[in-house]
Amino acid sequence: MRTAYHEQLDALTAQLGEMCGLAGAAMERATQALLQADLELAEQVITDHERIAAMSSKAEESAFVLLALQAPVAGDLRSIVAAIQIAADVERMGALALHVAKIARRRHPQHALPEEVNGYFAEMGRLAVELGNSAQEVLLTRDPEKAARIHEEDDAMDDLHRHLFTVLMDKEWKHGVAAAVDVTLLGRFYERFADHAVEIARRVIFQVTGKHPDDEDLTTTR
């Protein structure tokens, strides 16, 4: 009975890891759609999001079944509760990639981004993909040290987001209000994507150690 239970828990973890990979891939395609004004890629991201949403619902359902039928305690209970929260985090990451793709689609055939901020979003997109891959690795390895290091990539994303605002606030900005709104929203989408990856790392640390890490813990562990 317990062997079957742990097999189900391992399958749930593998599913969550696959979802992280899909979310990272979605943000990669959404970024390319944004930078290249590629309508086909944007549409692909929008269509593919249904798969991530369906997997999130299935993962939550599997976790609740384990709670109801197995009555887990201690570490097993932590793992299942954290899995429910992680499923929501990953689904949100996919939704943020969806929002990026929708802006690219709405502005097509024009580019949504002024050329001077393309470099920021190319780098933010690269970091988002790395964060998706890192979250996937952390989920599958359950390594708290690797989980703590995700915070470094989030710091880099935060730095880019702050620098982006210096461009928007510059008196030389000449692209109008609509472009400023798009850039502001897009920057926030990438920042939040990174934040959810950090939350996944926190939840893995909680699964393994039973402790909720704060920012100082993450900084000193890495």
pLDDT higher than 80, residue 74:
no
Mind listing the pLDDT tens digit for each residue in 120-143? Answer: 999 999 999 999 999 999 999 999
Count of residues making up the chain:
222
Walk me through the domains of the chain, giving residue ranges and CATH numbers.
2-221 (1.20.58.220)
How many percent of the chain have pLDDT more than 90?
72
* pLDDT value at residue 90: 96
pTM, 2 dp: 0.90
Across the chain, mean pLDDT equals 90
Helix-helix angle 144-169:118-141, to 10 degrees: 170
Per-residue pLDDT at 1: 54
pLDDT band (50, 70, 90) for residue 222: very low
Greatest Cα pair distance in the chain: 67
Tell me which residue has tokens 């970024």.
Answer: 31
3-state secondary structure the chain: CHHHHHHHHHHHHHHHHHHHHHHHHHHHHHHHHHHHCCHHHHHHHHHHHHHHHHHHHHHHHHHHHHHHHHCCCHHHHHHHHHHHHHHHHHHHHHHHHHHHHHHHHHHCCCCCCCHHHHHHHHHHHHHHHHHHHHHHHHHHHCCHHHHHHHHHHHHHHHHHHHHHHHHHHCCCCCCHHHHHHHHHHHHHHHHHHHHHHHHHHHHHHHHHHCCCCCHHHHHHHC
Cα–Cα distance, 17 to 90 (Å, whole number): 9
105: its two tokens: 């689609």
How many CA atoms lie less than 13 Å away from 76 in the CB half-sphere?
Answer: 17
Q: Do residues 122 and 35 touch, judged by C-beta distance below 8 A?
A: yes
Rounded distance, CA 167 to CA 116, Å? 9
User: What single letter denotes the amino acid at residue 147?
Assistant: A
pLDDT level of residue 2 (50, 70, 90 thresholds) = low
Task: Output the pLDDT for position 207.
Answer: 86
Which of 40-44, 56-60, 116-120, 217-221 comes out lowest in average pLDDT? 217-221
Q: Is the pLDDT of residue 49 over 60?
A: yes
